[in-house]
Structure 1
């Protein structure tokens, strides 16, 4: 074997998902994983909760609702019910209020972030604070409107999400003793987020300074990038060398054959993977990578190959898809390939065999090639289901209009484990199918990544009392301040902390036992925030909107 036991302990990022209706129209399997924070596995939501004086408190799973503005630019539209979870088990008067949103997910799967198993609860325990998990608009039960139409999404923007956090902090009356007297200015608030929610943390402290005393942004994807080939770079760099070498060889061969326009050769290549029924070559190229994702079926989230790098977790079994794939390419009769791999001829056939014998059935079931993997049927109702709770649709809106984050092959000057046949236009075309009212069926989206970076400063924010925590093995690293192209090195007022972790590893206290670097990040972050909280002074001015 290639020594998976020697790898650093890995952390889960399993995209939570609401099951699609049983009548879901046939359509392509869903896209790449959202940049979300890790779930806490085996967490009991209804365990007894006691305050420090022994008072029985509501269960962590008890939901509260806040009257949030539908549109912060047009108050006449009224409010909607925004769900949140809260506990004050560690709170003492004068302690901080620690707020986070899980971002693009149903918040009910993230109530473990109220507890001291996470950096949130750990800070609360250390600083006598109270913790809150606030659901993001248009996810879970927090919907301004009863559908996810383009018209409803008019108020689904990064700025509205930032304003939600600020308005909540300034106006919520928390269900605890003195909970109506802890608005910013009366009490210190700490904003915490990971991944997209980490970006929101940075954006909020950048654009609305003075509301939050401190911010902690883990694996924060602050730099919007339309052509996000960098997603695959940390995977390529840290996956087993033999597997990386052979994957690069196969991908180069696939691209060469497709670009040759040799119909017979292309058909033969597709037959190697049993995909001769797939009509469009970019769909075929994308299937090698883009369909190796956590696929959503009616009742099952599967962990699959390259994108499962983002979903690794110690002792869970969920990390096996990635390594089983590499074993299929690199192990012959219990003998592992050298670092250079077995080479193109063997790897191509082995990959094809693994795909046809094992993998296709897992992701496609009994669907034919085009139904499962094709993306060119713009008339399918699959694209335009607008029921609330469809987290994928809500996230795709943010990608299509603002972030971009289209996963594709690296430039020709760089090695790649993703096909260069797949370009940003492959994904942006699908935005037109999902949101024809915004882009038109036959148009490709033009997400305003540059505008987002200009408004909130991306890598180059100068916001103070903001901690960035990043991991070298995080596939989203190249959108964080730890990216190779970032030049902001941080300061004592904006510490940039780096570990050998994966996506948002530092949010989970258990990761400290697996990685001394992650523990160091957590300890340093707690030290900084403790110092900033100690320096905080009440100020009525901080309550102004």
Structure 2
């Protein structure tokens, strides 16, 4: 058995830029990492898809098995196979085109990103599996070696789709947290989060956001100016985490909605990574312990300390701040907690983990095909986000202002062609966290979090090889946090 390389390094393969145009002979270098320590002849290859983020030699150290349990490596150890990590085209250093370092956008614009599609990216993996060779080994291509795709979230979608698309190439898949039901708007994302929050906190968040929207729509000039200044100061409390504006007047309604969405959308750690306790536990406690007697009122001359300081020694009530003291007080309690979450995030995550051109590549994928924009559920009576956090503003500000050449509408049919949450791939195991907000668009979705869900039956009974489970059953399991 070979010694494990303590520092796995990137390997590269030359891939066709366009798999579907034989007259285009351009190629680019795509990266991958492997650990073949446990391999014995005939063993499978466990292909871990890195998805919508660039990888690195440092990240690939999970292949050593040190400090972190890595499922592909454990499977390779058990079944005497190879563990592999794959970098998605247009991410990390698997970027076929030169790009502007500041904006992250490829210089060729649409003529570059038109090659970043679901089909091109899936075909990359197919091409690789068919042609993979390693010096000193027998044929490791998919015609003679079982390849197993493993992925979570977007890579989980790809794991499921590849078994529908190329069952002759990838023998099996493990699709985790896979939101395969692509749709443009995804307000149901918030339902799981809402259900995990204490009732007083969710009621106060709703009251604060409703108050904010009311000021923007019905407030007089003085009220709107005061409101804008409060939001502007809250956003600027930590310049590394906030959006950046010259003054309160420069903020659009979308900008304000985005700032107020910070605890749920941009603020690290996020719910889908850390659950309620990690993402919102302190945030909710601070809202409910916010003491209104410390709040003397906010004016156009008030310093930020008026909204960023509080003794947090209020009498905790099940009714909540809004019910006890009114919606305006709930709004300022919300701003206080938003500021505190922002400051904590700056201490725990001192820099943006994502590479700029990775952000742009993912924005292109969302705006051109994947969509699933986590918009406000307004006019729901339990809505957590501003009504201005809507699809119209997402399309304009997130998509078209950043990438003017993006299609007018995302082509979600490019994803749904594989069946969405009705898909029935064989040799595929689906796993979902019981409190994962992406479960709302997965095969394990249920009516309590998505009224349109198929409510498919979950089974751990493994069907015959290359056969899907009977009826509407889904092979897999839900995992409780």
Report the TM-score range of the alignment, normalised by the length of the smaller protein: 0.7 to 0.9
The equivalent of 2:74 in structure 1 is 122
The equivalent of 1:107 in structure 2 is 55
The answer to whether the 8 Å contact 2:12/2:31 transfers is yes
The equivalent of 1:163 in structure 2 is 123
Alignment partner of 2:476 out of 480, 488, 497: 497
| TM-score, scaled relative to structure 2 | 0.76
Deviation at 1:130, TM superposition (A): 0.7
Deviation at 1:429, TM superposition (A): 0.6
Cα distance between partner residues in 1 of 2:37 and 2:198: 44
Deviation at 1:265, TM superposition (A): 3.6
192-201 or 233-242, larger mean C-alpha shift: 233-242
- Say whether residues 1:187 and 2:161 are aligned partners: no
Alignment partner of 2:10 out of 63, 73, 79: 63
The answer to whether the 8 Å contact 2:187/2:375 transfers is yes
The equivalent of 2:214 in structure 1 is 256
- Say whether residues 1:285 and 2:257 are aligned partners: yes
CA deviation digits over 1:210-239, x for unaligned, max 9? 211110001012121211112222111112
Cα distance between partner residues in 1 of 2:383 and 2:39: 50
Partner secondary structure for residue 146 of structure 1: coil
Partner secondary structure for residue 227 of structure 1: coil
Deviation at 1:264, TM superposition (A): 3.9
- Say whether residues 1:446 and 2:418 are aligned partners: no
The answer to whether the 8 Å contact 1:472/1:498 transfers is no
- Say whether residues 1:174 and 2:134 are aligned partners: yes
- Say whether residues 1:465 and 2:427 are aligned partners: yes
RMSD: 2.9
- Say whether residues 1:342 and 2:321 are aligned partners: yes
76-85 or 113-122, larger mean C-alpha shift: 113-122
Cα distance between partner residues in 2 of 1:360 and 1:110: 26
Partner secondary structure for residue 99 of structure 1: strand
Cα distance between partner residues in 2 of 1:471 and 1:67: 36
The equivalent of 1:33 in structure 2 is none
> Closer, same or farther in 2 for the Cα pair 1:195/1:414, shift >3 Å?
farther
CA deviation digits over 1:322-347, x for unaligned, max 9? 33322220125556634432225332
The equivalent of 2:390 in structure 1 is 423
Cα distance between partner residues in 1 of 2:385 and 2:116: 31
Cα distance between partner residues in 2 of 1:234 and 1:191: 28
The equivalent of 1:90 in structure 2 is 38
105-114 or 286-295, larger mean C-alpha shift: 286-295
Alignment of 1:141-540 (within 5 A): 141-147=93-99, 148=106, 149-175=109-135, 177-178=136-137, 180-260=138-218, 262-274=220-232, 276-290=248-262, 293-294=265-266, 303=268, 308-312=270-274, 322-332=280-290, 333-334=312-313, 337-343=316-322, 345=326, 346-355=329-338, 358=340, 390-413=357-380, 415-430=382-397, 431-438=399-406, 445-449=408-412, 451-483=413-445, 484=450, 485-487=452-454, 488-489=456-457, 492=463, 493=468, 495-501=474-480
| TM-score, scaled relative to structure 1 | 0.68
> Closer, same or farther in 2 for the Cα pair 1:321/1:270, shift >3 Å?
farther
The equivalent of 2:306 in structure 1 is none
Partner secondary structure for residue 389 of structure 2: coil
State the aligned residue count. 404
Which runs of 5 or more residues in structure 1 are unaligned? 1-52, 296-302, 365-387, 440-444, 502-514, 516-545
415-424 or 129-138, larger mean C-alpha shift: 415-424
Cα distance between partner residues in 2 of 1:105 and 1:194: 12
The answer to whether the 8 Å contact 1:242/1:337 transfers is no
> Closer, same or farther in 2 for the Cα pair 1:168/1:294, shift >3 Å?
same
Deviation at 1:496, TM superposition (A): 4.1
Deviation at 1:360, TM superposition (A): 6.8
Partner secondary structure for residue 71 of structure 1: coil
Cα distance between partner residues in 2 of 1:467 and 1:434: 37
The answer to whether the 8 Å contact 1:63/1:83 transfers is yes
Q: Return the structure number with greater relative CO, CA threshold 8 A, min gap 6.
A: 1
Cα distance between partner residues in 1 of 2:55 and 2:34: 12
Which runs of 5 or more residues in structure 2 are unaligned? 100-105, 234-247, 291-311, 347-354
> Closer, same or farther in 2 for the Cα pair 1:232/1:278, shift >3 Å?
farther
